[in-house]
Amino acid sequence: MRILLLGTGGREHALGRALVADGSELHVAPGNPGLTRLGTLHDVDITDGPAVVALARDIDAELVVVGPEAPLVAGVADELRRAGYDVFGPSAQAAALEGSKAFAKDIMAAAGVPTAGHRVCTTADEAAAALDCFGAPHVVKDDGLAAGKGVVVTDDRDAALAHAASSGTVVIEEYLDGPEVSLFAICDGTTARPLLPAQDFKRVGDGDLGPNTGGMGAYCPLPWAPQGLVDEIMRDVVQPTVDEMARRGTPFVGLLYAGLALTRRGLRVVEFNVRFGDPETQAVLSLLETPLAPVLRAAARGELDALPELTWRDGAAVVVVEAAQGYPGTPKKGGPISLPEDTDDAYVLHAGTALTDGHLVAAGGRVLGIVGRGADLEAARATAYQHLERVVFPDGFHRNDIGIPH
């Protein structure tokens, strides 16, 4: 199959590996140096619908896979579908599940999906009243897309008010206490299939200290998860959401990412995303045995129920993100990188890298993802950190506690 993959990060490198597993031909826009080994890169602005449609035509794409949320929210999947392409990625209307926190709350209420109590606030007075209603710790979220950085969780009421004041429309909600789980489901508008559950590490520092980031590492599956957790999430969260989107005439075709908290009172949705999560995808796809391309095309065509169940390797996987000094603020760019050879169970995925005069350098906040696989979580974690020791990147830093359940 000829596939066009849109995006540039570690998630896209992981997707690229899984998409070529059956010998599919890969084209990527814009891609990164890691993806050059897997396919052909095209320098196209992926939020420019007509430019993406023209590229799909040039390469005669049989499937387009959209990595990040920005082109989805901008309606690029809609333009591709209108031009007749099979697309894995939701319409702009369905992508509002991620693009607007207020919309996501509305869908959850209509579908009976458990989530944190919330209020949508547009004025300082409304925000103050909502903060006092829910009490500390305070949770204030920008309504729109914010690359994982639009959420403030704080005991400081003034800081919470300041975030609300700086953000226009915000969602203020009840604090959810308990371990977090990411579950991804491949959806075709009607049918949904879960991937392995994962946990990511959002804060920049060891012990979950410091500001939120896009994600500093992840592991899967979850050895501590209660029996039946995935079935429960599919029954109580994913399927009702897919059904409600279909009922509204805006079916969800693509990857529904449920971020959940397992609270003492049961599971609650923390957020929805409408694309593969980064970096959980790097861990999850490293255990997928089934070739990904036919699965995503079946989803794009509404034919998921005809496919057999996905199959997975035994064991566990861990991905540790190597970020550039300064991240999640302004990362230091241009730092030289030298990488070890991949092995069977340990490899490096590129995220924010570039080639300058043939030399690999840092070009973003999250620069690399080091994946380790093993018979269990402890072994996978050891493999990932051992491989990371052989990465030379003096301007980089990472967390040391990725893969320790939290």
Give contact residues for ligand AMP (rule: CB under 6 A): 116, 139, 141, 148, 151, 153, 173, 175-176, 180, 202, 212, 259, 270-271
- Of 103 and 175, nearer to ligand AMP (C-beta) is 175
User: Does 215 sit near ligand GLY (CB under 6 A)?
Assistant: yes
Could you tell me the smallest distance in angstroms from the CB atom of residue 4 to ligand AMP? Answer: 28
Q: Which region among 29-37, 277-285, 324-332, 358-366 touches ligand GLY (by CB under 6 A)? A: 277-285
> 247: how many CB neighbours lie within 10 A of its CB?
11
Q: Which of 188, 278, 345, 395 binds ligand GLY (CB under 6 A)?
A: 278
- Of 61 and 145, nearer to ligand GLY (C-beta) is 145
Q: What residue 212 binds from ligand AMP, ligand GLY, none (CB within 5 to 8 A, per partner kind)?
A: ligand AMP
Virtual CA dihedral for 399, 401, 404, 406, nearest 10 degrees?
-70
Q: Return the residues of window 162-201 that contact ligand GLY according to CB under 6 A.
A: 200
C-alpha to C-alpha distance for 236 and 80, rounded to whole angstroms = 32
Could you tell me the smallest distance in angstroms from the CB atom of residue 234 to ligand AMP? Answer: 20
Measured CA to CA in angstroms, residue 157 lies from 116, 119, 152, 389 at distances of 19, 16, 11, 42
- Of 168 and 336, nearer to ligand AMP (C-beta) is 168
Q: Which region among 88-96, 230-238, 272-280, 362-370 touches ligand GLY (by CB under 6 A)? A: 272-280
Could you tell me the smallest distance in angstroms from the CB atom of residue 275 to ligand GLY? Answer: 8
374: left (phi over 0), alpha (psi -120 to 50) or beta: beta
Evaluate the CA torsion angle 284, 285, 290, 293 in order and state its sign: positive
C-alpha to C-alpha distance for 11 and 3, rounded to whole angstroms = 16
Could you tell me the smallest distance in angstroms from the CB atom of residue 278 to ligand GLY? Answer: 4
Residue written as token pair 């018979």: 375
User: Does 251 sit near ligand GLY (CB under 6 A)?
Assistant: no
Could you tell me the smallest distance in angstroms from the CB atom of residue 36 to ligand AMP? Answer: 32
- Of 114 and 148, nearer to ligand GLY (C-beta) is 148
Q: What residue 215 binds from ligand AMP, ligand GLY, none (CB within 5 to 8 A, per partner kind)?
A: ligand GLY
Q: Return the residues of window 120-159 that contact ligand GLY according to CB under 6 A.
A: 148
Beta strands in 214-335 (DSSP E): 217-220, 253-263, 266-273, 316-324
State the residue number with the nearest CB to ligand AMP: 271
Evaluate the CA torsion angle 370, 373, 374, 376 in order and state its sign: positive
Q: Which region among 78-86, 240-248, 275-283, 301-309 touches ligand GLY (by CB under 6 A)? A: 275-283
Could you tell me the smallest distance in angstroms from the CB atom of residue 196 to ligand GLY? Answer: 15
Nearest in space to 210 (alpha carbons), one of 322, 329, 364, 384 = 329
- The arrangement of strands across the sheet holding 253-263 comes to 192-194, 180-188, 253-263, 266-273
Evaluate the CA torsion angle 41, 339, 355, 400 in order and state its sign: positive
Nearest in space to 82 (alpha carbons), one of 95, 92, 67 = 92
C-alpha Rg value of the chain to the nearest Å: 20
Contacts of 36 (CB under 8 A, 6+ apart): none
Could you tell me the smallest distance in angstroms from the CB atom of residue 355 to ligand GLY? Answer: 25
Chain residues that interact with ligand GLY, rule: CB under 6 A: 148, 200, 214-215, 273, 277-278, 280
